[in-house]
C-alpha cells in the first residue's frame, strides 16, 4: 500500500538511549523496542519509554531503524531467535507469523479500531494499530475567499463531487489558480475516491475464487480521467511525477486530496490560510485508512516484559499521551487528543473516520492480513494501469483486467 501506509523522514541508523538502568539480552528489567519514524515519532516513543521506566523500573531500549531496513532487520532477528520484544511496523510478513504474540486481550480492552486490527485466519489478533492515517481534503481558503466560493464548515453542508468541481471551476475563472485540484499519485487516494462514488474498489467474489469490481468503481475511475483531461487536475502529477504537495504549498492550487500525515507539516510550513474540510462524495461518505502497527514477539529476550509494556502503552491515558506527542490520529475508540497545532484539522479527520463507511479500512487490513498469511501482495498494477489509462495507452477494461490479475496473483496464490 501507498508508502506502506506512510513513508516518514528516516532517522538513519540512529539509536535512542533512554537510561542507564538495565541491560539487553534477557534481563527482565529491559524491554527492546524497534521503531522507524520521523523525529516527532522517535521522540514520542522515547518519552513514553522514559515514563514507563519511571513508573515500573523497567528500561525500554528503543532502537530507531531506517524504514527501508526495518522489515529485513526484524526478519533476520526473528529467524535467529533474537527478535525484539516489541516493534512498531507498517506491515506484517509471513516470517514473523509463528512468533507473534496474541494481542486479542489488549485489542479488546483498549478498543482498537476493528477495521484495522490485524487478525490471522483463526481470528486471533496479531497486530494492533498504533495510529490511523486517513485520506482527506485540504483547501487554500484564500483562493476560495477571493473567488467568493463557499466551502463546508460542518457535516451538514458537505459537497457532492459535482458541486465541489463546479466551485473549483469558478475559482479558476476568478483567480490566478493554476489548476483546481491535486491528488497524490497513489492508489491509496484513488480508493477513497472510488468509495465516495459508492464503489467497493476491488474485492473477492462470493466464492472467493477471484477478485472483481463494480460499476460504481468503474464510473469513478472514468470521472477521475475526465478531471485530468479537462484541466481541473494537472495530469503531470500522475503521469510525470510532479509533486502534488509542493504544488499545493505554492499557494496556486485551491484543493489538495492527500491525508492526515500532512497536518503537522502544513501547520508549520505554509504561509497562506488553509483548512482541512470534509471531502465531497456522491453516494457514500468514505475515506481510506492506513496506519502502523504494534507487534510483540514470543521469541524476544523478554516477551513477558514486552507484553506488559504493550498493555501499559494502550491504557487510554498513556496512549493519549503518545498520540499527542507523535501527532497521531487515535487508533482507539473513544480517545480524544489535544494537539499542539492543527487541532481543527485533526478534528475534521477524526469526524471523517467516524462517519466513514466500513469499506474505508477493509482493503488495508485485508492486505496486511493476507501478506501475514504468506501471500505475495500487490505489485502496483492498479496505479500503473491508471497512469496508462490517463495517457490513452489502454482502455478502462484493461485497467480493470490488469488490476484483478494483480489481486488474484497477490492475494489468492502463494
Which helix (H) or strand (E) covers residue 72, if one does?
Answer: helix 67-79
320 burial type by CB count under 10 A (0-12 exposed, 13-18 middle, 19+ buried): middle
Strand partners of residue 297: 100
Joined grid coordinates for residue 397: 477494461
Show Cβ contacts of residue 393 under 8 Å, excluding neighbours closer than 6 positions: none
What SS3 class is residue 286? Answer: coil
Name residue, grid cell 495507452: 393
Q: Note the pLDDT of residue 41.
A: 84
Q: Note the pLDDT of residue 39.
A: 77
Which helix (H) or strand (E) covers residue 291, if one does?
Answer: strand 289-296
Q: How far apart are CA 206 and CA 212, in angstroms?
A: 10
91 burial type by CB count under 10 A (0-12 exposed, 13-18 middle, 19+ buried): buried
Give yes or no for a contact between 272 and 140, defined as CB atoms under 8 angstroms apart. Answer: yes
Q: How far apart are CA 387 and CA 276, in angstroms?
A: 27
Pick the closest to residue 50 from 39, 61, 41 (CA basis): 61
Name residue, grid cell 477513497: 192
Q: How far apart are CA 212 and CA 46, in angstroms?
A: 44
Name residue, grid cell 504549498: 249
Q: Note the pLDDT of residue 37.
A: 75
Name residue, grid cell 472483481: 212
pLDDT digits (tens, 9 = 90+) for 331-372: 999 999 999 899 999 999 999 999 999 999 988 899 999 999
Show Cβ contacts of residue 173 under 8 Å, excluding neighbours closer than 6 positions: 147
Spell out the domains of the chain, with CATH numbers in brackets.
2-133+291-347 (3.40.190.10), 134-289+377-411 (3.40.190.10)
pLDDT digits (tens, 9 = 90+) for 74-98: 999 999 999 999 999 999 999 999 9
Q: Note the pLDDT of residue 6.
A: 33
Pick the closest to residue 14 from 48, 54, 51, 41 (CA basis): 41
Helix locations, 124-160, DSSP H: 141-147
- For the chain, 414 residues long, the average pLDDT of each consecutive 10-residue run is 34 34 56 88 93 97 94 96 96 93 98 93 96 96 98 95 98 98 96 98 96 98 98 97 97 97 93 98 96 96 97 98 93 92 95 94 91 92 98 98 98 90
pTM summary value: 0.87
Q: Note the pLDDT of residue 28.
A: 75
Amino acid at each position: 500500500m501507498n508508502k506502506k501506509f506512510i513513508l516518514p523522514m528516516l532517522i538513519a541508523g540512529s539509536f535512542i538511549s533512554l537510561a542507564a538502568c538495565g541491560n539487553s539480552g534477557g534481563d527482565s528489567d529491559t524491554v527492546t523496542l524497534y521503531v522507524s519514524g520521523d523525529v516527532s515519532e522517535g521522540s514520542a516513543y522515547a518519552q513514553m519509554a522514559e515514563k514507563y521506566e519511571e513508573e515500573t523500573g523497567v528500561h525500554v531500549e528503543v532502537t530507531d531503524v531506517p524504514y527501508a531496513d526495518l522489515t529485513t532487520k526484524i526478519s533476520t532477528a526473528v529467524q535467529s531467535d533474537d527478535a525484539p520484544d516489541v516493534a512498531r511496523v507498517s506491515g506484517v510478513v509471513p516470517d514473523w507469523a509463528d512468533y507473534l504474540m496474541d494481542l486479542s486481550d489488549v485489542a479488546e480492552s483498549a478498543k482498537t479500531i476493528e477495521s484495522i486490527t490485524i487478525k490471522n485466519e483463526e481470528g486471533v489478533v496479531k497486530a494492533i494499530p498504533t495510529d490511523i492515517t486517513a485520506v482527506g481534503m485540504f483547501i487554500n481558503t484564500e483562493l476560495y475567499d477571493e473567488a467568493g466560493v463557499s466551502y463546508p464548515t460542518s457535516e451538514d453542508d458537505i459537497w457532492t463531487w459535482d458541486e465541489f468541481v463546479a466551485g473549483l471551476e469558478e475559482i479558476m475563472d476568478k483567480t490566478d489558480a493554476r489548476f483546481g485540484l491535486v491528488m497524490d499519485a497513489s492508489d491509496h487516494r484513488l480508493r477513497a475516491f472510488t468509495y465516495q462514488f459508492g464503489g467497493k474498489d476491488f474485492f473477492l467474489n462470493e466464492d472467493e475464487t477471484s477478485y472483481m469490481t463494480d460499476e460504481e468503481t468503474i464510473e469513478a475511475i472514468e470521472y477521475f480521467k475526465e478531471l485530468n483531461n479537462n484541466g481541473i487536475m494537472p495530469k503531470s502529477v500522475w503521469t510525470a511525477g510532479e509533486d502534488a504537495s509542493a504544488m499545493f504549498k505554492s499557494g496556486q492550487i485551491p484543493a489538495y486530496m492527500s491525508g492526515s500525515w500532512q497536518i503537522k507539516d502544513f501547520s508549520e510550513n505554509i504561509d497562506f490560510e488553509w483548512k482541512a474540510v470534509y471531502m465531497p462524495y456522491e453516494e457514500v461518505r468514505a475515506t481510506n485508512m492506513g496506519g502502523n502497527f504494534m507487534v510483540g514477539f514470543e521469541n524476544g529476550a523478554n516477551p513477558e516484559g514486552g507484553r506488559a509494556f504493550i498493555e501499559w502503552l494502550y491504557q487510554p491515558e498513556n496512549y493519549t499521551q503518545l498520540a499527542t506527542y507523535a501527532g497521531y490520529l487515535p487508533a482507539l475508540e473513544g480517545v480524544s487528543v489535544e494537539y499542539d497545532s492543527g487541532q481543527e484539522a485533526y478534528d475534521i479527520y477524526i469526524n471523517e473516520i467516524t462517519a466513514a463507511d466500513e469499506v474505508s479500512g477493509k482493503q488495508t487490513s485485508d492486505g496486511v492480513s493476507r501478506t501475514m498469511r504468506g501471500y505475495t501482495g500487490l505489485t502496483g498494477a492498479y496505479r500503473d494501469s491508471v497512469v496508462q489509462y490517463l495517457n490513452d495507452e489502454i482502455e478502462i477494461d484493461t485497467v480493470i483486467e490488469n488490476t484483478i490479475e494483480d489481486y488474484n496473483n497477490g492475494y489468492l496464490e502463494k
